[in-house]
């Protein structure tokens, strides 16, 4: 069959069993985030382009290469959101939440859009779960936010992860470090690929994100940014690390860890998983104490992170899941029928059962053998069989697909009988 339409490059369809895994992960993440005091936020997927130009920053790959930007008929420049922090800050200001006392804590689960090179776990429409906590500059909050990210991975059984932490200073101490770094890079310009040289004057920290071996080796010979921290930033970082130790969160200090967006300051962190010989970043975040003010609001300290859902699920595919999480059960009860009259009869009983379980009524009029195969494919625990005889006698045939036991059940006793077979499942 020749298809007339195909999905766009860098996008994908999420179907059936995979959706079930997504849903179970999302349910557990919502539960964890509620325990940590976060409430959900949902923002439009399109925003004014200037929001991202101002917040993410010129010279970043997102702004220079990856944004989906278009002009409306009215001449307004709009962008599909490439990340969520700027949108949350915009919503925070526009909805007057700066007047809220204490720390305002949001979480989101949403699609993002970047014109990136598609590869495993990285798509042009991708999904993130993340948090933003606005209103506190406490380093203890930084540690709690990192602990929250770890708890999200724990909730879905992710293993083999490494938490990396660093401080990139503040506007008082970072400028002097950046000037020294610019001089160093220009003195060794022959090592820096031509495609990266434009970053030196705009944001030289971006070169720490480079995957080029020569650049990585070059920067390893330059002093770490932690040596340039002012006393306040140094003390802030010490408290973050001490609190993480008190929370029993294993981590490593990585002085080469920076974040690729302009709005970060002080604490930055990543959570990575080893994939083959490489480290794959599943989560990244940090503090952005000046972004709210930069977007027109009052000075407001803030910190957040985002987790790549596709990358995380790709990592989970190599793990041993919690059985309740990993099972791809779509239905508990599958109803096989022989004929339209049987389907009508079965549908009423199916509706009663759906108050407690997931039930599917087969309406294909296939052979019983074919319907039974579908019941097994859907991982059903029980198969009910209804034919002309069952309709006339007011009964159903119930087969326990785990034990093979089969018996006739009177319709009025069906709910209790299924409950007995599936005890502990509802």
Residue whose tokens read 């999905």: 7
- Taking each helix axis as running N to C, give the angle between helix 340-353 and helix 414-421, from 0 to 180 degrees, rounded to the nearest 10: 60
27's enclosing H/E stretch is helix 16-35
The pLDDT of residue 214 is 86
Best CA proximity match to 199, nearest among 90, 368, 57: 57
* Global pTM value: 0.86
Query: pLDDT, tens digit, for every residue of 59-98?
Result: 566 776 789 999 999 999 999 999 999 999 999 999 999 9
* Angstrom distances, CA of residue 217 to CA of 200, 210, 212, 222, 258: 17, 11, 9, 9, 16
Please determine, for residue 57, whether its predicted confidence score (pLDDT) is greater than 80. no
Measured CA to CA, the distance from residue 364 to residue 378 in angstroms comes to 15
Inter-residue contact 338 to 386 (CB < 8 Å)? yes
Q: Is 201 helix (H, G, I), strand (E, B) or coil?
A: helix
Write out the two tokens for 349. 């009983």
- DSSP letter string over 98-124? GGSSS-EEEEEEEEEE--PPPBTTB-S
Please determine, for residue 359, whether its predicted confidence score (pLDDT) is greater than 70. yes
Best CA proximity match to 359, nearest among 372, 347, 343, 371: 347
Residues 72-89 as b/e (b if ≥16 CB within 10 A, e otherwise) read eeeeeeebbbbbbbbbbb
The pLDDT of residue 426 is 44
Count of CB atoms situated within 10 Å of the CB of 336: 26
Count of CB atoms situated within 10 Å of the CB of 39: 10
Q: How confident is the model at residue 424 (pLDDT cuts 50, 70, 90)?
A: low
Measured CA to CA, the distance from residue 389 to residue 391 in angstroms comes to 5
Q: How confident is the model at residue 119 (pLDDT cuts 50, 70, 90)?
A: confident
Please determine, for residue 346, whether its predicted confidence score (pLDDT) is greater than 90. yes
Count of CB atoms situated within 10 Å of the CB of 414: 19
Q: Is 83 helix (H, G, I), strand (E, B) or coil?
A: coil
């Amino acid at each position: 069959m020749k298809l007339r339409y195909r999905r766009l490059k860098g996008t994908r369809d999420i179907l059936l069993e995979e959706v079930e895994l997504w849903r179970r992960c999302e349910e557990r993440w919502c539960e964890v985030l509620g325990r940590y005091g976060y409430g959900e936020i949902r923002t439009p997927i399109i925003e004014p382009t200037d929001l991202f130009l101002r917040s993410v920053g010129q010279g970043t790959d997102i702004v220079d290469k990856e944004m989906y930007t278009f002009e409306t008929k009215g001449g307004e420049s709009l962008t599909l959101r490439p990340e969520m922090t700027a949108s949350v800050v915009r919503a925070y200001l526009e909805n007057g939440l700066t007047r809220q006392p204490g720390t305002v804590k949001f979480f989101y689960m949403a699609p993002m859009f970047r014109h990136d090179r598609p590869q495993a776990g990285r798509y042009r429409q991708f999904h993130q779960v993340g948090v933003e906590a606005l209103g506190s500059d406490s380093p203890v909050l930084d540690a709690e936010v990192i602990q929250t990210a770890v708890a999200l991975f724990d909730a879905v059984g992710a293993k083999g992860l490494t938490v990396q932490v660093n401080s990139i200073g503040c506007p008082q101490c970072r400028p002097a470090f950046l000037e020294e770094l610019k001089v160093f890079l220009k003195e060794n310009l022959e090592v820096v690929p031509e495609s990266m040289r434009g970053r030196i004057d705009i944001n030289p920290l971006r070169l720490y994100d480079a995957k080029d071996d020569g650049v990585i080796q070059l920067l390893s010979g330059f002093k770490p940014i932690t040596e340039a921290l002012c006393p306040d930033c140094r003390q802030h970082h010490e408290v973050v690390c001490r609190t993480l130790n008190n929370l029993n969160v294993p981590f490593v200090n990585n002085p080469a860890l920076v974040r690729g967006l302009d709005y970060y300051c002080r604490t930055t962190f990543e959570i990575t998983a080893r994939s083959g010989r490489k480290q794959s970043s599943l989560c990244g975040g940090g503090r952005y104490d000046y972004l709210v003010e930069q977007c027109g609001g009052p000075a407001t300290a803030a910190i957040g992170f985002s987790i790549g859902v596709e990358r995380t699920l790709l990592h989970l595919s190599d793990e041993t899941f919690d059985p309740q999480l990993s099972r791809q059960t779509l239905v508990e009860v599958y109803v096989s029928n022989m004929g339209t009259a049987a389907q009508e009869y079965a549908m009423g009983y199916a509706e009663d059962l759906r108050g407690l379980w997931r039930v599917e009524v087969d309406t294909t009029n296939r052979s019983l053998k074919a319907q039974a195969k579908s019941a097994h494919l859907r991982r059903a625990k029980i198969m009910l069989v209804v034919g002309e005889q069952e309709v006339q006698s007011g009964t159903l045939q119930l087969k326990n697909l785990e034990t093979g036991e089969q018996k006739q059940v009177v319709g009025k006793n069906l709910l209790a009988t299924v409950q007995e077979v599936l005890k502990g499942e509802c």
